[in-house]
Amino acid sequence: MSLIQLHDLYFKPYISSNEIDRIIESLVEEVYNDLPKNEVPLFVGILNGSFLFAADFIRKFNRNCEVSFVKLASYQGTESTQIVDQLIGINEDLTDRTVIILEDIIDTGNTLQKIYEIFKNKHVKELKIATLFFKPEVYKKELPINYIGKSIEDKFIVGYGLDYNGHGRNLPSVYQLTSKPNMKNIVLFGPPGAGKGTQAEILKDKYNLIHISTGVVFREHIKNETELGVLAKSYIDAGDLVPDEVTINMLKEEVNKNSNANGFIFDGFPRTQSQAVALEDFLAEKGEQVNGMVALEVPENLLVERLLERGKTSGRSDDTDESKIRNRFNEYNTKTAVLKDFYEEKNKYYGVNGVGSIEEITARISKIFDTL
């Protein structure tokens, strides 16, 4: 899940659709177990926010029930200046019925109080309240809430029926308000030998960013013979990718070491779809995002030449042997190249001609960095 923007505000992932599903399941179970066997309850969803919650709730309620939706409307009373509240949409005779209100969220309890007042003279047998979310810090009333899905902190949320100025209701999960992202995070992309490392070293100073090269971090681990280094060595020597889980955890650790950074240049990461998704999730949790992927485009025959040339001095075991180099391209073409689509879909892909002098290429990349 990524950071999202609605109107002028940013929201970060907060409660996943799977968690919502589990919350509703246990709410349904509680309600179900409290009801006498032959009781046919009337569920009343409060519009607009509860439409998804109510739909999912009653779908899981495996017994006879009735369903209705109401909207709370305030209007100016004719005889006084007092605001009068009314429920629009209740046509059923509620006498002696068990009514269960389905609310998406209860915060101050003002709406809840209005509902209680309106139902006071409807002669119901029992009125119960089930709410998906509840904000205990701001709830000011004594009124009972019979069923609470999840208590949450007092921060503005959207999604799963809840909106910000009309937007966000259709999101399948819930997001929490966060401040505007303030990092510049760029994925420097391209096949082995495209010049990512060289360019990143220049750009990190120019833009005051932290350069993380997963290849470099791996090679340090190998040199220091750490557990991670021992694990990664066989993959790297063969020109294979190191398994995702290992790489992702290492990347997170490197980012967390620099939590006050202006932003990062990711070089050699992500290299697979699941690494890209993990990076998205990880940054979104921090209220940050990838601003863009800048890709160095270089023809493959030129790259092999460059790598063999580099192998003469780099001391890298994977630069010396043409078959290992070919395998790295194979890994790139089968697992990594798809990331172009991943970022293109988000309008975050920027291709740059990677053939030319170092300075020329820096200038081309800088033009893009300046806009991100």
Residue ranges in contact with ligand AMP by CB under 6 A? 192, 214-215, 218, 235-236, 239-242, 247, 268-269, 271, 275, 318, 328
* Alpha-carbon span 359 to 11, nearest angstrom: 38
User: Closest CB to ligand AMP belongs to which residue?
Assistant: 215
Nearer to ligand AMP, 131 or 247 (CB): 247
Contacting residues for 171 by C-beta, under 8 A, at least 6 apart: 4, 158, 159, 160
Q: Pairing relation of β-strands 210-213 and 263-267? A: parallel
Least separation in angstroms between residue 269's CB and ligand AMP is: 4
Nearer to ligand AMP, 128 or 271 (CB): 271
* Alpha-carbon span 106 to 136, nearest angstrom: 9
Q: In what order do the strands lie in the sheet with 147-151?
A: 83-88, 66-76, 42-47, 98-106, 126-134, 147-151
In 3D, which of 189, 182, 211 has the Cα closest to residue 365? 189
Least separation in angstroms between residue 187's CB and ligand AMP is: 11
Token pair 């509840």: residue: 134
* Burial (CB count within 10 angstroms: exposed 0-12, middle 13-18, buried 19+), residue 2: middle
* Catalytic sites, residue numbers: 196, 271, 310, 316, 328
Give, rounded to a whole angstrom, the gap between the first and last alpha carbons of the chain: 21
Least separation in angstroms between residue 244's CB and ligand AMP is: 7
* Alpha-carbon span 45 to 67, nearest angstrom: 8
Least separation in angstroms between residue 92's CB and ligand AMP is: 60
Nearer to ligand AMP, 11 or 218 (CB): 218
Written as six digits, the tokens of 131 are 């709410």
Least separation in angstroms between residue 338's CB and ligand AMP is: 14
Nearer to ligand AMP, 124 or 231 (CB): 231
Nearer to ligand AMP, 12 or 328 (CB): 328
